[in-house]
A and B are shown apart, each in its own frame.
Chain A
Amino acid sequence: MMGGIYGISKDRLEKLFSALAAERELYLPVMSGGKVNFSVWEEGEDVRLDVTKTAKSPKDAFFPQFETLYTCRTEEGKLKIDPEELCRREFVVFGMRACDAAGLRVLDRVFLSEPVDTFYAARRELGTIVSIACGEPEESCFCRAFGIDAASPDADVAAWFSGERLLLKPQTEKGTRLISSLSEYLTEADGAEAAIEEEQAKIRAITEKLPYSLLSLEGWGSGETKRKFDSPLWEKLYRPCLACGTCTFVCPTCQCYDIKDYKTKNGVQRYRCWDSCMYSDFTLMAGGNNRTTQLQRFRQRFMHKLVYFPENNEGTFSCVGCGRCVDSCPSSLNIVKVIKAFSKDGGDE
Chain B
Amino acid sequence: MCGFGNGNDALIPRVGVITDIRTETPDVKTFRVVSPEGGKLFEHMPGQCAMVCVPGVGEGMFSITSSPTQREYQEFSIKRCGVLTDMLHSLSPGDEITVRGPYGNHFPVEDALKGKNLLFVAGGIGLAPLRSVINYVLDNRADYGSVDIVYGARSADDLVRLDEIREVWAKAPGVGVHLTIDREQEGWDGHVGFVPAFLGELGFDADRTALVCGPPVMIKFVLSTLGEMGFGKEQVYTTLELRMKCGIGKCGRCNIGSKYVCRDGPVFRFDEIDELPDEY
Contacts and interface: CB of A to CB of B under 8 A. Distances in A.
B277 interface: yes
Interface string A70-87: 101000001111010111
A343 interface: no
A308 B255 contact: yes
Counting chain B CB atoms within 10 Å of each CB, the highest count among A80, A117, A118 belongs to A118
B246 A259 contact: yes
Given A79-B55, A79-B98, A308-B257, A259 B277 contact: no
Contact of A70 (B3, B10, B12): B12
B258 interface: yes
B11 to A, nearest CB: 5
A225 B59 contact: no
Contacts of A81: 12-15, 98
B208 to A, nearest CB: 29
A225 B98 contact: no
Nearest to A301: B252
Given A225-B277, A261-B55, A304-B255, A69 B12 contact: yes
Contacts of B248: 115
B253 A287 contact: no
Nearest to B264: A312
B166 interface: no
Contacts of A41: none
A286 B85 CA distance: 10
B2 A83 contact: no
A224 to B, nearest CB: 11
A122 B2 contact: yes
Contacts of B15: 78-81
B9 A72 contact: no
A93 to B, nearest CB: 17
Nearest to B11: A69
A259 B59 contact: yes
Contacts of A110: 250
B243 interface: yes
A268 B56 contact: yes
A251 to B, nearest CB: 12
A285 B59 contact: no
Interface in B1-53: 1-4, 6-15, 36, 53
B55 A229 contact: no
B148 interface: no
Contact of A83 (B7, B97, B241, B250): B7
B258 A311 contact: yes
Main secondary structure of the interface of A (DSSP, over half): mixed
A88 interface: yes
Interface string B96-130: 11100000000000000000000000000000000
B201 interface: no
A125 B3 contact: yes
A225 B258 CA distance: 9
B55 A268 contact: yes
B250 A125 contact: no
Interface string B245-280: 110101111011110000000000000000001011
B245 A259 contact: yes
Interface string A260-296: 0101000110101001010000111111011100001
B187 interface: no
A97 to B, nearest CB: 24
B187 to A, nearest CB: 30
A119 interface: yes
Contacts of A272: 11, 251
Contacts of B251: 255-259, 272, 275
A121 interface: yes
B242 A285 contact: yes
Interface string A295-322: 0100010011001110110000000000
Counting chain A CB atoms within 10 Å of each CB, the highest count among B10, B97, B258 belongs to B258
Contact of B1 (A126, A257, A287): A126
A124 B98 CA distance: 29
A221 B10 CA distance: 30
Contact of A87 (B2, B36, B96): B2
Interface of B: 1-4, 6-15, 36, 53, 55-59, 81-82, 85, 96-98, 241-243, 245-246, 248, 250-253, 255-258, 277, 279-280
Interface of A: 69-70, 72, 78-81, 83, 85-88, 110-111, 115-119, 121-122, 125-126, 225-226, 229, 255-259, 261, 263, 267-268, 270, 272, 275, 277, 282-287, 289-291, 296, 300, 303-304, 307-309, 311-312
30 contacts: A70-B13, A79-B55, A81-B12, A81-B14, A81-B98, A87-B2, A117-B9, A117-B250, A118-B4, A118-B6, A121-B4, A125-B2, A125-B3, A126-B1, A126-B2, A225-B258, A225-B277, A229-B277, A257-B246, A257-B250, A257-B251, A258-B251, A259-B251, A282-B253, A283-B253, A284-B243, A289-B243, A290-B280, A291-B279, A307-B258
Given A70-B13, A79-B98, A311-B257, 17 more contacts: A72-B55, A78-B36, A79-B15, A79-B96, A79-B97, A81-B13, A81-B98, A115-B9, A116-B4, A255-B250, A256-B253, A282-B253, A286-B81, A289-B243, A290-B242, A290-B279, A308-B258
